[in-house]
Amino acid sequence: MKKRTLTPSTLYLALVLLINYLPIVVVVLFSFNDAKLPVAWKGFSLRWYQELARDAALMEALRNSLVLALASSLAAAVIGTLGAIGTMHLRLRAKGVMDYLATLPIMLPEIILGMVFMAYFALLRLPFGMLTLIIAHTSFCIPYVFLMVRARLVGMDKSIEEAARDLGASPVRTFFDITLPLILPAILSGCILSFAMSFDDVVISIFVNGPTLSTLPIKVYTQLRTGVTPEINALCTIILIAVILFRLASAALRRMGGAGSHR
């Protein structure tokens, strides 16, 4: 029997996996630790999950982050999709410049965007709160949807749309019956990425956040001054489980869709 030897590529892969996933494993492990300080294992306990359920401020911050990320990703999906479709049909020499401007928000440092949004909202005299958060998050989430949809449109066969138009379909009917189903996976991918970026944002949110509203990243950031409690570990574990379940569900739906298309 041939002996298996560890190749450099195998060692490299193991090292990358260890660096990426060991901190996650530690967070999950210490969310069940009975000790308050994550330096020693004191015993298995669900104490911090119970404390998390009783922490009204932390749960409110989580709800605010979910609402903000959902609203921003949906608005970015609509604007980014329309922008990608619109620029694809342009026949201007400045088309490349418009594409560059559409993706500029993801290339600028977040602290610059935060300062710009703060000055702009102050100029408009908008009250800082959920509205300013949604506007700011939508602005930097649009490029993610734009790039995803634009890439799908570039690789799409234009003859399908042309055939629908030749058969008498109106532009609106062609979009909803032909274009939208073909670009829907790209829109969903952009929405998921936008949701994650909005849910995770700290820097821009600090600049445009209101005095009475707090998101989960801001709440965690402000707790760093007094020390992060194991409740954060419990919350991270719950979010991690939710992400894994969502990933498994989406994979199952894709398999079901693929099986249905081959029947």
| Distance (Å) of CA 127 to CA 12, 73, 222 | 51, 22, 22
pLDDT at 34 over 60: yes
More confident residue, 37 or 187: 187
Helix axes 8-30, 230-261, angle to 10 degrees: 120
The answer to whether position 202 is within a domain reads: yes
pLDDT at 3 over 60: no
The arithmetic mean of pLDDT across residues 30-34, rounded, is 84
Band of residue 77 on the pLDDT scale cut at 50, 70, 90: very high
pLDDT at 106 over 60: yes
Give the chain's mean pLDDT. Answer: 82
The arithmetic mean of pLDDT across residues 139-154, rounded, is 89
The pLDDT value recorded for residue 251 is 67
pLDDT at 49 over 80: yes
pLDDT at 259 over 60: no
The answer to whether position 136 is within a domain reads: yes
The pLDDT value recorded for residue 255 is 66
pLDDT at 94 over 50: yes
The arithmetic mean of pLDDT across residues 168-176, rounded, is 81
Cβ-Cβ contacts under 8 Å for 156 (sequence gap 6 or more): 179, 182, 183
Band of residue 257 on the pLDDT scale cut at 50, 70, 90: very low
The arithmetic mean of pLDDT across residues 55-77, rounded, is 91
Cβ contact 15:21 at 8 Å: no
Query: What is the chain's Cα-based Rg?
Result: 23
pLDDT at 5 over 80: no
More confident residue, 247 or 29: 29
Helix, strand, coil % in the chain, rounded to nearest 5: 75, 0, 25
pLDDT at 184 over 90: no
The pLDDT value recorded for residue 2 is 54
Let me know if 109 is exposed, middle or buried by CB neighbors in 10 A (0-12, 13-18, 19+).
exposed
Amino acid letter for position 15: L
The arithmetic mean of pLDDT across residues 196-204, rounded, is 89
pLDDT at 263 over 90: no
Residues of the domain holding 169: 71-210
The answer to whether position 95 is within a domain reads: yes
Neighbours of 60 (CB within 10 A): 15
Nearest alpha-carbon partner for 197 in 69, 67, 81: 69
User: Which CATH number belongs to the domain containing residue 113 in this structure?
Assistant: 1.10.3720.10
Distance CA 209, CA 158 (A): 44
The answer to whether position 178 is within a domain reads: yes
The pLDDT value recorded for residue 86 is 82
The answer to whether position 37 is within a domain reads: no
The pLDDT value recorded for residue 204 is 92
The answer to whether position 102 is within a domain reads: yes
Give the total number of structural domains in the chain: 1
